[in-house]
Amino acid sequence: MSPRKSVAEARRTRERIIERSVAIGSVEGLDGLTIGRLATDLGMSKAGVLGHFGSKQALQLAALHGASELFTRLVWAPVAALRPGLVRLRAFSEEWIRYLESERTAFPGGCLFAVASVEFDTRGGPVHDTVARFMLRGRRLLVNDLRIAVETGELPGDVDPEQFAFEMHGLYMALNQELQLFADATAPVRTRRALDRLLGPAQPRG
Tens of pLDDT along the chain (206 residues)?
555 557 788 888 999 999 999 999 999 999 999 888 899 999 998 888 888 888 889 999 999 999 999 999 999 999 999 999 999 999 999 999 999 999 888 899 999 999 999 999 999 899 999 999 999 999 999 999 999 999 999 999 999 999 999 999 999 999 999 999 999 999 999 999 999 999 987 665 44
Instruction: Give residue limits of the domains in the chain.
Output: 3-199
Architecture of domain 3-199: Orthogonal Bundle (1.10)
Pick from 14, 30, 204, 18: nearest CA to 114: 30
Distance CA 105, CA 102 (A): 9
Predicted TM-score (pTM) of this structure: 0.88
C-alpha of 87 from chain center = 21
**What is the amino acid identity at position 137?**
R
**Cβ neighbours, 10 Å, residue 125:** 9
Contact status, residue 110 vs residue 180, Cβ threshold 8 Å: yes
